[in-house]
């Protein structure tokens, strides 16, 4: 159902598309027990729950980030969108995200 709301299908990497869809599930509190905890995963664009958790972190840095990212990918995807919206590249954001939830 979340894919109906999405832009960029066929124009953005599948991991980003699925991450946004799972972000919607996360915000609706439909979190399966097998999902990674915040800070989990090997890379931000691993897809699904990992990417959803990372996008949630980014959205906490800038309220409305995911909606703005969704709008930007209407015509294609670029990692540059993270710099445009958050002022940092995605790799830096991923390192900060991982550090925030490190045990």
CB within 8 A of 30, min separation 6: which ones? none
Which tens digit of pLDDT belongs to each residue from 29-78? 999 999 999 999 999 999 999 999 999 999 999 999 999 999 999 888 99
Which DSSP symbol is given to 15? H
Please state, in angstroms and rounded to a whole number, the distance separating the CA atoms of residues 10 and 77.
10
pLDDT of residue 75: 87
């Amino acid at each position: 159902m979340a894919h109906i709301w999405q832009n960029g299908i066929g124009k953005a990497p599948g991991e980003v598309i699925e991450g946004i869809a799972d972000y919607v599930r996360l915000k609706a509190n439909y979190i399966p027990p097998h999902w990674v905890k915040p800070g989990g995963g090997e890379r931000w664009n691993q897809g699904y729950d990992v990417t959803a958790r990372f996008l949630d972190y980014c959205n906490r840095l800038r309220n409305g980030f995911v909606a703005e990212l969704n709008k930007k990918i209407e015509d294609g995807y670029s990692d540059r969108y993270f710099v445009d919206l958050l002022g940092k590249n995605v790799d830096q954001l991923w390192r900060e995200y991982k550090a925030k939830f490190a045990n």
